[in-house]
Amino acid sequence: MSERVVTRALLVGAFTLLVYYIAAVVRGPEVEYIAWNPVHAAVLTVLGLAAGAAWGARAHLERWRTLEVLLVANLALVFGLLFLGWTMVWDAAKALEGLVPGLRDLSYGFWFIAGILGAYIVRKPGAALATETLAALAEFLAGSQWGFTLLISGLVQGGMAELVFALTGYRRYDLATLMAAGAAAGVGSLVVDYLFWYSDKTLPVLAIMLVARLISGAVLSGWLGKAIGDALARAGALDAFAIALEEAKGAPAQR
């Protein structure tokens, strides 16, 4: 299962980069408005990786139990509303921009937590992608100011987190893996935001934003997501899910 997700992510990422290279470098002046830019190359590659991971994980969603589908739907609804409320934190963090441009993004990571928590509980291919995308949909339907772009963000953030879990063979859900998945979602989020909002930012500012989102994703999604999942498991609320069953058996997650 994991091989399909990783392979398709790499194929689509490489294909996207190749198409851009041919258009910008091989054809060169013949293509109007297209010129090679390393930032654009990285952005397109990440988009390709996320899309490929989403493509590879999609087929596995059909094998989920009804209980798992309902859990993910409920998590997405709850966190979609929390995401909407988190806008107040994001607005308050604007004060950090006066210190260092891009530092505000240290508060961004909470917007990835749905995908991390969903994957931590369900432990099946597609969990990160489905939970994060549905949470973005819930936030959109609740009237978020960012509108339809949220759906693209949710898909890319969930796809990048999904890729991390796929690279472990969907066997590892320890703190390091969850933090890495949160950081990967942070990379995906900046790619989408760059396309829609931040293409005029300088490279140093973008670098600060990237580091801030890596840290924020690791802490506010990875670490916090694990803490919430563990608390729910200890309370007995997740006894029917992989997070409790695998811990009880002391075995790696089922594929």
Quickly list DSSP for 203-226.
HHHHHHHHHHHHHHIIIIIIIHHH
Mean pLDDT of 189-197: 91
Domain count, the chain: 1
Q: Is residue 100 part of a domain?
A: yes
Q: Is residue 24 part of a domain?
A: no
Residues 6+ apart with CB under 8 A from 74: none
Per-residue pLDDT at 242: 85
Per-residue pLDDT at 78: 95
The alpha-carbon radius of gyration of the chain (Å, integer) is: 18
Mean pLDDT of 40-52: 85
Per-residue pLDDT at 147: 85
Element (H, E) at 99: none
Per-residue pLDDT at 251: 47
* Angle (CA) 49 154 99, round 5°: 95
Mean pLDDT of 133-143: 92
Q: Is residue 130 part of a domain?
A: yes
Q: Is residue 30 part of a domain?
A: no
What range defines the domain where residue 153 resides?
A: 64-249
Residues 6+ apart with CB under 8 A from 60: 1, 124, 125, 126
pLDDT at 155 over 50: yes
3-state secondary structure of 143: coil
Tokens of 43: 């952005």
Q: Is residue 2 part of a domain?
A: no
pLDDT at 29 over 80: no
Q: Is residue 220 part of a domain?
A: yes
| C-alpha 100, offset from chain centre | 25
Q: What is the largest CA-CA distance in the chain?
A: 63
8-state DSSP, 221: I
Q: Is residue 22 part of a domain?
A: no
**Gap between the Cα atoms of 112 and 160, Å rounded:** 10
Per-residue pLDDT at 127: 93
Mean pLDDT of 134-138: 94
Spatial contact of 117 and 126, defined as CB atoms under 8 Å apart? no
Tokens of 161: 């987190």
Mean pLDDT of 84-88: 94
For residues 165 and 40, the model is more confident at 165
In one-letter notation, the amino acid at residue 159 is: G
* Angle (CA) 76 155 175, round 5°: 70
Lowest mean pLDDT among 13-22, 132-141, 143-152, 245-254: 245-254
Mean pLDDT of 178-185: 97
Mean pLDDT of 234-239: 88
pLDDT per position as a tens digit, 4-22: 888 888 888 888 888 888 8
Mean pLDDT of 114-125: 95
C-alpha distance from residue 238 to each of 119, 220, 244 (Å): 13, 21, 6
8-state DSSP, 253: P
Q: Is residue 111 part of a domain?
A: yes
